[in-house]
Copies of this chain bind each other. A is one copy, B any other.
Amino acid sequence: MNGRTRSQERILKVMKGLTQPTSAQDLHMELRNHEYSIGLATVYRSLDALKLDGLVQVRTLPSGESLYSLPQEDRHHLTCLRCGGSISIEECPVHNLEQELQQHHKFRIYYHTLEFFGLCPDCQGQEEAVVE
């Protein structure tokens, strides 16, 4: 909503070259690869500001680590509770509901996350092996 700072613009620029949601720490290293010497704290502060304006979105993993991405990279996931492996899924039956919620609750919705958790085929096998 406000003007972007130099760091924020550099972060957005680098993020446009990334296809995967990325952690703050990885972004920090990515920035150094682009010869932008930015402190890690500044990365966190900038991402926080961008998040508040809906310019980046955040997905927090069960590990506590947050992954940042541009809104158009939004994908949903099928995540294995055991190995942590994650499959992207394209289907999204949520769009209409989002419109309704926006009106009903007077929220300004920037984005949503949809995650399925369970066991992937491999880990279902391991599960049985453990039980034996």
A residues apposed to B, CB below 8 Å: 1-2, 51-52, 54, 57-58, 60-62, 64-66, 78, 80-82, 87, 89, 91, 93-94, 96-98, 100-102, 105-121, 124, 127, 130-131
Contacts and interface: CB of A to CB of B under 8 A. Distances in A.
Please state the number of chain copies in the assembly. 2
A112 B92 CA distance: 13
B101 A131 contact: no
Contact of A54 (B58, B87, B96, B118): B118
Nearest to A2: B131
B117 A109 contact: yes
Given A107-B119, A109-B117, A117-B57, A81 B52 contact: yes
